[in-house]
Chains A and B, each alone.
Chain A
Amino acid sequence: MAANPLGGGSFGEALARHGLQLTREETRVLQVNVGLACDLSCRHCHLEAGPQRVEMMDRDTMDAVIDCARRFRFQSIDLTGGAPELVPDLDRLVRSLAPLTNRLMVRTNLVALNSGEGSALCELYRELGVGLVASLPASNAAQTEAQRGEGVWGRSVEALKRLNSLGYGMPESPLRLDLVSNPSGAFLPPPQQQAEQKFRSDLSRRHGISFNSLYTFANVPLGRFRSFLERSGNLDGYLAQLTDGFNPCSVAGLMCRYQLSVDWRGRLYDCDFHLAQGVWYGGEETHISTLAELPAPGTTIPTADHCFACTVGAGFT
Chain B
Amino acid sequence: METYYAPKDLGNFAEIGKDAPELAGKFFAYYNEVFAEGELTEREKALIALAVAHTVQCPYCIDAYTRACLEKGSHLGEMTEAVHVATAIRGGASLVHAVQMRKIAEKLSL
Contacts and interface: CB of A to CB of B under 8 A. Distances in A.
Given A183-B70, A185-B70, A190 B77 contact: no
B76 interface: yes
B28 to A, nearest CB: 18
Interface in A76-133: none
Given A194-B41, A198-B43, A187 B70 contact: yes
Contacts of A183: 70-71
B71 A188 contact: yes
Contacts of B72: 190-191, 194
A219 to B, nearest CB: 12
Of the listed residues B67, B73, B77, the one surrounded by the most CB atoms of chain A closer than 10 A to its CB is B73
Contacts of A142: 75-77
B43 A187 contact: no
Interface in A49-65: none
Interface of A: 138, 140, 142-143, 183, 185, 187-191, 194-195, 198
Interface residues of B, number: 11
**Interface of chain A: mostly helix, strand, loop or mixed:** loop
B70 A198 contact: no
Nearest to A181: B73
Contacts of A185: 70
Q: Which 5 A-B pairs have the closest CB atoms?
A: A190-B73, A187-B70, A195-B73, A190-B72, A140-B75
Contacts of A195: 73
Contacts of A143: 75-76
A183 B70 CA distance: 8
A140 to B, nearest CB: 5
A46 to B, nearest CB: 20
26 contacts: A140-B77, A142-B75, A142-B76, A142-B77, A143-B75, A143-B76, A183-B70, A183-B71, A185-B70, A187-B67, A187-B70, A187-B71, A189-B71, A189-B73, A190-B43, A190-B71, A190-B72, A190-B73, A191-B72, A194-B41, A194-B42, A194-B43, A194-B72, A194-B73, A198-B43, A198-B73
